[in-house]
Structures are given as structure tokens and as C-alpha cells.
Structure 1
Amino acid sequence: MKAMILAAGLGTRLRPLSLEIPKPVIPVLGQPLCGYAMAFLHEYGAASFLLNLHHGPERVREKVTAWAADRFPVVFTHEREILGTGGGIGNAREYLRGGTFVTANSDAVARFPFGDALARHRRNGSLATLVLFPDRRRRYTPVRVREDGRIAGFGSAAPAGAYEGFYTGYLIAEPELLDRIPHGRPSCIVRDTLVPLIATGAPICAFMTEGIFLDFGTPEDYLRGTLALLAEREGDKGPHSFTHPRASIEKGATVGPDAVIEEGATVGAGATVRRAILWPGAVVPPGALVENGILTPRGFVPA
């Protein structure tokens, strides 16, 4: 199975952080953010990956290639003009042809029973299956689903369904879907491809599930999501902290609770870092306090 990670966005909501490092490769506990989606899908049989690039393409290519080197092959497309979710997938149609494929967003960490989603997709004979989670905080656009599992529509104006959830960005699809994406122009996979197909009665289905879903869209989301992964990794050991082997912690410094010191960062003598992330190249002066945000080489971003 081939997979595509959608990585061509500008990361506008993550600014000013995404002006320093493109969002797909911001560091998260020692690895690029997009690596979490890739590793998750690799566990379920994705053998190779394609990333579409636009903002900071060389930086993304460099970081992903280095991280994925011994894991799986990765290829890239470069969009001089952002093509959107539909146009980006359509632009990769030659790579994705040949069997069932999956797409995912680069800016979220999710875990759920993907094997069950894939089995349901095949059992139903679906053209496309969208993985949905319950949206208890009402943060995202609702996706309404009929009793038979087919999608009724998107948004509050969609026909009533038996249940609803939000779209996680995980799409399982057959190669025939690629021919229904508009050619040669930017487009949205939902608005310009899936909605018209639903109107014709095509089998566009949902797999409703639960699990972990962490959105890294804003600086606040980034800090919250990173600390959630840190807590999950360390369990009840606390106080939770992560220090990259190639970071520098000087004498008398306090790291934690809830501190992440990425590769190449320095915490000066007697300084304190808590509920914060230090980016590569960031320096905490001796005796200083950094908390509730992200420190980069350019400055501090509160979160």
C-alpha cells in the first residue's frame, strides 16, 4: 500500500514558528512532526510514501529524508502553486495508482485501529473511506453519516445522519478516485471531488472510531500535543521531561516538569525550563526561567 502525506500548506496558524521551520518538520520529541503519521501508517503496511511540498521544500526534504533513511522510501512532489488537498493528491496520481492507497495530513498525530478501517473499506466496496472521530468539543466541521455508513454530507447544512464526527484527514481510497479529481487546477478533495460523488450515489463511506488525535495547528496546540505525547511516553514516572542526547544542560539547571529540550538547544547554569519546548539552537541564559511557550533561536513564542 502506498501513502501520501499532505505537506504543502503554509502553516499560517502556527506562525511565527512556521516561519523558522516548515510545519511538517517542526521537532516533536526528537523527530519531525510528519514522521508520526508516516510511522503509524508504516505499522499497518504502507511500504512507501510521497510528500507534496510548497513552503520550505528543501528544508522538509532534508529533514524527512534523513529521518526516514533506514525506515522506508520517500519521494516528493513540489508545488510551485499550492494545489489544495484535491489538486495535491491528483498531482500524485501516477505514484498512487496500482491499488488501495491512503492519504493523511502532516500536522496531526493520530492512532486508531487502521487495520479495521481498511478491512471495512474493502468489505463495503467503498470508493473512498474517511476516518472520523467524535467531536465532543465541536471544534471541527461535522461530517454526517447515514445508517449504512455512507456519508450524507459535510457541514451543519448537510442532511441529517444517523451519527456524525469530524474528518481526521485519513482517507483510504481506490485508484479510480484519482480520475474524478479535477485536472490541472487547485481543488479541495472534499468540496470538489467527494461532494459531487456523494450526489451521484457513489460509495463514499465513513469509518467512525476513537483513539488519539492531536492537532498541531497552532503554537498552543503544538505545546499541548507535545506534552501529551511526552506524558504518554513516560507514563506515571514524572516529572515529565525530554532532553535530546545532543542538547546541553549546564550545571544546576532544572529541566521539568513538562520540558522538552530538542537537539542542539542549551540550558544555561542555574536556569529553569518548565512547560516549554526549546528548539534546536535555542539558548536559555544562566539563571533564566522559560515556561509556557516555545523558545527558538529567534525568540520566545508564548503558548
Structure 2
Amino acid sequence: MKAMILAAGLGTRLRPLSLEIPKPVIPVLGRPLCGHAMAFLREHGAESFLLNLHHGPETVREKVTAWAAARFPVEFTHEKEILGTGGGIGNAREYLRGGTFMTANSDAVARFPLGDALARHRANGALATLVLFPDRRKRYTPVRVREDGRIAGFGNDAPAGSFEGFYTGYLIAEPELLDRIPRGRPSCIVRDTLAPLIASGTPIYAYMTEGTFLDFGTPEDYLRGTLALLAEREGGKGPRSFAHPRASIGNGATVGPDAVVEEGATVGDGATVRRAILWPGAVVPPGALVENGILTPRGFVPA
């Protein structure tokens, strides 16, 4: 099965961090952010990947290629003009043809029963299935779903459904969907492709589930999401800290709780890092304190 990671956004909400490193490849516990979604999809049957690029394409290509290495094949497309979620997927139609495929956003990390979602998609005979989570904070556009699991519509003006959730960006689809995406122009997969299909009665289903969903949209989200993954990694135990083997930690330095020191970062003698992320090339002077934010080679970003 093939998978596509949507990685062509500008990362505007993550600025100024995304001005240094494109959002899809900001470091998260020793791997690029998009690598977490790729590893999750790989665990559930994805054999190869394609990423669409726009902002910082060479940096994204270099970091993803270095991380993926011999794990699995990765291909890339470059969009001179951002094509949107629909246009990006449509632009990859020749790559994605051949069977059921999956897509995910590069800036979110999720854990849910994807194997069950795939089985349900096939049992329903769906053209496409969107993975939804409950939106208890009412942060996202609601997706309304009928009792039989088919999507009724998107947004507050959509027809009433038996339940609703938010779209995680995880899509399971059949290759016939690719021919329904408008060609030759930017488009939104929801507004310009799925919504008209739903209105025409095409079987577009929701898979409503729960689990972990971490949005890395802003610096605050980035710090919160990284620390959540750190806690998950340690099973709620341990020092709640991560120091890359190729980071430098000085004598008497304190790393944690809730601290991440990425590859190539330096913590000076006697320094303290807590509730913070240090990027590659970041330097904490001896005896200094870094907390509640992200330290990069260019400076400190509160979070």
C-alpha cells in the first residue's frame, strides 16, 4: 500500500521556528516531525511514501531521506505553487494509483486503531473514509455523520447527523477518488472533492475513533505535543527527558523534567533545561537556565 504525507504548507502558525526549519522536519525526539506519521502508517501496511514539497524543499528532502534511509522508499514532488490538499493529492495520482492508499498531514501525530479503520473502509465498500476524533474542545470544523457511518456534511451548516467529530487528516481512499479531484488548479480535498461527492450520494464514510491526536501547529503545540510523546515513550515513568546520543551534556547539568535535547545541541556545565526543547546547534551557556520554550541557534522562542 502507498501513502502520501501532505508536507507543502508554509507553517505560518509555527513561525518563527518554521523560518529556520520547515515544519514537516522540525525535530521531535530524534526524528523529523513527519517521520512519526510515516512510522505509524508503516506499522499498518504502508510500504512506500510520497511527500509533496513547497517551503524549504531541499531541507525537507535531505532530512526525510536521511531519516528514512533503508527503512522504506520515499519519493517527492515539488509544488512551485501550493496546490492545496486536493491539488496535492491529485498531482500525485500516477504515484497513488494501483490500490487502496492512505494520506496524512505532516504536522500531526496520531495513534488509533488504523488496522480496524482499513477493515471498516473495505467492508463498507467506501470510495473514501475519513478518520475522525471527538472534538471536545470545539477547536476544529465539525464533520457530521449519519447513523450508518456515511458523512452527512462538513461545518455547522451541514445536515444534522447522529454524531460528529473532527477530521484528523488521515484519509483512506480508493484510486477512483483521484479522477474526481479537479485538475490543473489548487483545491481542497474536503470542499472541492469530498463535499460534492457526498451531496451526490457517493459512499464517503467516517471512521469515528479515539486515541492520541497531537497537533504541532504552533510553538505552544509543538512543545506540548513533544512532551506528550515523551511521556508516552516512558510510560508515565522515568525522568521525562530525552538527550540525543550526539548531544553534548556538561558536567553537573540538569536535563528535565520535561526536557528534550536534540542531536548537536549543547548544555553547558551546571546548566538546567526543563520544560524545553533544544534544537540542533543550540547552546546553553554554563550555569544558565532554559525553560518553557524552544531554544534554537537563532534564539529562544517562548512556549
TM more than 0.5: yes
Asked whether the 8 Å contact 1:144–1:164 carries over to 2, the reply is yes
**TM-fit CA distance, 1:236:** 3.6
Deviations 1:120-179, CA, capped at 9 Å, x for gaps: 111111010000000111111100000111100101111110000000000000111000
Q: Which amino acid aligns with 1:140?
A: Y
Does 1:219 find its partner at 2:215?
Answer: no
The whole-number CA distance in structure 1 between the counterparts of 2:36 and 2:246 is 21
Asked whether the 8 Å contact 1:238–1:257 carries over to 2, the reply is no
Name the residue aligned to 1:159: 159
Asked whether the 8 Å contact 1:105–1:170 carries over to 2, the reply is yes
Name the residue aligned to 1:107: 107
Name the residue aligned to 2:51: 51
Q: Which amino acid aligns with 1:188?
A: C
Does 1:91 find its partner at 2:115?
Answer: no
The whole-number CA distance in structure 2 between the counterparts of 1:181 and 1:237 is 47
Q: How does 1:276-287 map to 2 (within 5 A)?
A: 276-287=276-287
TM-score (norm 2): 0.99
Name the residue aligned to 2:39: 39
Name the residue aligned to 1:186: 186
Does 1:65 find its partner at 2:65?
Answer: yes
The whole-number CA distance in structure 1 between the counterparts of 2:238 and 2:119 is 38
Q: Which amino acid aligns with 1:198?
A: I
Q: Which runs of 4+ in 1 moved over 6 A?
A: none
**TM-fit CA distance, 1:70:** 1.6
TM-score (norm 1): 0.99
* RMSD, aligned CA: 0.6
Name the residue aligned to 2:290: 290
Name the residue aligned to 1:145: 145
**TM-fit CA distance, 1:269:** 1.1
Name the residue aligned to 1:256: 256
The whole-number CA distance in structure 1 between the counterparts of 2:231 and 2:297 is 26
The whole-number CA distance in structure 2 between the counterparts of 1:119 and 1:255 is 43
Name the residue aligned to 1:118: 118
The whole-number CA distance in structure 2 between the counterparts of 1:62 and 1:239 is 32
**TM-fit CA distance, 1:241:** 0.4
**TM-fit CA distance, 1:235:** 2.2
Name the residue aligned to 2:21: 21
Q: Which amino acid aligns with 1:37?
A: A
Name the residue aligned to 1:210: 210
Deviations 1:162-206, CA, capped at 9 Å, x for gaps: 000000000000111000000010000000000110110000110
- The count of corresponding residues between Structure 1 and Structure 2 is 303
**TM-fit CA distance, 1:270:** 1.1
Deviations 1:258-293, CA, capped at 9 Å, x for gaps: 100000000111111000000000000111110000
The percentage of counterpart residues that share the same residue type is 89
Asked whether the 8 Å contact 1:90–1:178 carries over to 2, the reply is yes
Does 1:228 find its partner at 2:232?
Answer: no
Asked whether the 8 Å contact 1:294–1:302 carries over to 2, the reply is yes
Q: Which amino acid aligns with 1:119?
A: A
Q: Which amino acid aligns with 2:155?
A: G
1:80 alignment partner, SS class: coil
1:182 alignment partner, SS class: coil
Asked whether the 8 Å contact 1:109–1:215 carries over to 2, the reply is yes
Q: Which amino acid aligns with 1:257?
A: P
Name the residue aligned to 2:201: 201
**TM-fit CA distance, 1:239:** 2.6
**TM-fit CA distance, 1:234:** 1.2
Q: Which amino acid aligns with 1:165?
A: G
The whole-number CA distance in structure 2 between the counterparts of 1:234 and 1:133 is 24
**TM-fit CA distance, 1:237:** 2.8
Q: Which amino acid aligns with 2:171?
A: L
The whole-number CA distance in structure 2 between the counterparts of 1:69 and 1:254 is 33
Name the residue aligned to 2:175: 175
